[in-house]
Structure 1
Amino acid sequence: MDADLLLTWMSEVGSGDVRDLRQRVAWAARARDRSPKRYESGRWLRDISALGHAEIDWQRGNWTIAPAVAPLLPAAGGTAVLAGSRRVGLLDRLEKSIAVQVQRPKDGHGEPLPAPATVFLQGDNFGQLRDSLKEAGVQYVGCAARSIARGLLRITLGDPAAPPARDDAAEHISANAEDVRFCAGLPKGDGLCRISVNGRPSYRYRLNGSWYHTDHATGILLDRAARGISVMRFRAERVSDDEEIGTVFIDQGAPLPPLQARALVLCSGLPPQFGNLARTAVYRNVPEDIARLVAESIRQPMSVFA
């Protein structure tokens, strides 16, 4: 799938309907003889959001391209990454004044929907980098990963909600600690419930007998926290400027909310990798303090191992 062309189209159009975008993603994948499943197109949209290219409003069913910015990657020798809008001619303008390295994701078997290429940027110094970015219409935003992480609020339930109607085809999360799996029916006690509203999944959470609105990621993470199930681990790999840098592992069944995912992704500029054997999402080049801020915001203890 030509994900770069699709990102360029999104940048030129500016905004649109999520359902239409998913159809375009699926069509682009089929044009490359791939047959994506529905959850894979959803994963692609979440990657686009985490990379900082677009904002996805799942509740309202629309998307908006983000402004072109250049976040600085932590512990990466002054390297920035291009995020947001990538209109026609932008890379050509950048290459005239700064070093541009384009890294394309592997497009092998099992990856039907690769993310757009990552564009790394370097200048002779920060001043020259900022000036060149500004001239090209890109805003330098410093270490966005750390700024986002420091501003994260702890996840919480939304407004009070009515309980699912009797004729709703409700599902709840299984009590199986090894996997997140939805089963038919309402939960016996407190917990997350999924129903369909106007053809879209809608999530409710029962707590102490009362129902509340929530979203997919928040509901699952609150459910895991309530059951005492840890979904996040950190492996320290090197030290840079007296801080531990390493890899974060998140159980695949527990997707991160958009800002938490973005804080981790903008540490490397790369979308998460997925380990099918261990069934984890893998985020690289993450400073330990950013990992801990993310863990606290999703109400998770963070296991640290070497």
Structure 2
Amino acid sequence: MDESIGDILLRWMSEVGSGTIVNLRARIEWMCRTVNLDLPAHASGRWLKDMSSLGHCELDWDAGRWAIAPAAVVALPGGDGLAVLAGRRRLRAVRALSDAEIWIEEARRESGSDEVPAPKTLYAPFSAAQELIDVAHVAEATNAGLSCDRIARSLVPTKPVLPTGPPAYGSALEKLGALFPREWQVVRPTQLKPPPGLYREKVNGRWRHLTRRDDEWFTCDLSAGVFAELVRRNESAIRWRPEPGRQVADTGTVFVDWGAPLPALHSRALALCTGFPPRFGAVAATAIFDNVPRTVAARVCTSLGQTLAVE
């Protein structure tokens, strides 16, 4: 299968190991221009979030740093003996698998016209546990087992709990109005007794998110703030639909409204059910994750303060 920009970038990241997000995004955008891909400014950030969801890298947006994740062999739920290779993807590891005559299947989900192409997904079929151990050994990777379930079990509530001071009087301040689509409304930092809700304040050119509850301010990231606001408004942004044609379906599809960005680990728990980044439904404005066990979807929802809606 031909290499895409995503494949080249992942291999480069695997060799370099870590760096700044600013420099990496500049490299992504430069590579896209070399093949005449004119993408929106947010495309490189979305690609990085997808790479994190797939377990290829870790992102620290506050510190502005990225780091490649250790190589891992991850079993897929209900995959009838199918695992995916995640994390560091050095060329020598791929060649070692070929030299050992270990069959690796390549697949790719087509990227949208406004997306940076994703790297191909590498699948390792197996019929026994020992075969999965052998793949991990040859690829110099960790045998991570059923990561989607392990990550889902480890998720903790995302409710903002860290108190903070009120917005500065001279800062630019906005309050979240509509959620779907997400809209912000300009408000005055000097307003007496601001109403509860999610706010963002511009500090040194960057947005800082904070929520107001019971006359107190709490700092948070955008994702935690949005889901806390959904809880306050008694609204839901996540739905699960069982696979059609099965009387007792324990796997299905998860739909997440675009206005509700999932935290990194929650997104990873869902993406590692297939080894693909989410599909995006333009009509319904949703991110779509396939092959998700109901138990995994339920744990993701619970940690976000949501009740799983089953369609």
**In the alignment, does 2:140 pair up with 1:137?**
yes
Distance 1:183 1:74, change over 3 A: same
Q: CA deviation at 1:266?
A: 0.4
Greater mean deviation of Cα atoms: 34-43 or 227-236: 34-43
8 Å Cα contact 1:177-1:229 kept in structure 2: no
- Which residue of structure 2 lines up, in the alignment, with residue 100 of structure 1? 104
Q: Alpha-carbon deviations, 1:73-102, whole Å to 9, x = none?
A: 000011010110011222221233322011
TM-score by structure 2 length? 0.92
Greater mean deviation of Cα atoms: 59-68 or 156-165: 156-165
8 Å Cα contact 1:275-1:281 kept in structure 2: yes
Distance in 1 (CA, whole Å) between partners of 2:162 and 2:211 is 10
Q: How does 1:1-306 map to 2 (within 5 A)?
A: 2-95=5-98, 96-107=100-111, 110-174=113-177, 176=178, 178-185=180-187, 188-237=194-243, 244-305=250-311
Distance in 1 (CA, whole Å) between partners of 2:38 and 2:244 is 39
Distance 1:242 1:276, change over 3 A: closer
Structure 1 segments, 4+ long, off by >6 Å, are 239-242
Distance 1:279 1:159, change over 3 A: same
Q: CA deviation at 1:204?
A: 1.2
Q: Alpha-carbon deviations, 1:188-245, whole Å to 9, x = none?
A: 4111111233333221111111111100111111111111111011110158996511
Amino acid at match of 2:265: L
Q: How many residues align?
A: 303
Amino acid at match of 2:122: V
Distance 1:179 1:145, change over 3 A: same
Distance in 1 (CA, whole Å) between partners of 2:35 and 2:233 is 42
Distance 1:107 1:234, change over 3 A: closer
Distance in 2 (CA, whole Å) between partners of 1:240 and 1:68 is 35
8 Å Cα contact 2:180-2:259 kept in structure 1: no
Distance 1:141 1:114, change over 3 A: same
Distance 1:303 1:91, change over 3 A: same
Distance in 1 (CA, whole Å) between partners of 2:188 and 2:73 is 45
Could you tell me which runs of 5 or more consecutive residues in structure 1 were left unpaired when the two chains were aligned.
Answer: none
Amino acid at match of 1:256: L
- Other structure's SS at 2:117 match: coil
Q: Alpha-carbon deviations, 1:10-41, whole Å to 9, x = none?
A: 11111111111111121122222222223222
Distance 1:135 1:239, change over 3 A: farther
Greater mean deviation of Cα atoms: 126-135 or 68-77: 126-135
Distance in 2 (CA, whole Å) between partners of 1:101 and 1:191 is 48
Distance 1:107 1:273, change over 3 A: closer
**Superposition RMSD in Å:** 1.9
Greater mean deviation of Cα atoms: 272-281 or 22-31: 22-31
8 Å Cα contact 1:172-1:185 kept in structure 2: yes
Q: CA deviation at 1:177?
A: 5.3
Amino acid at match of 1:149: A
Amino acid at match of 2:237: V
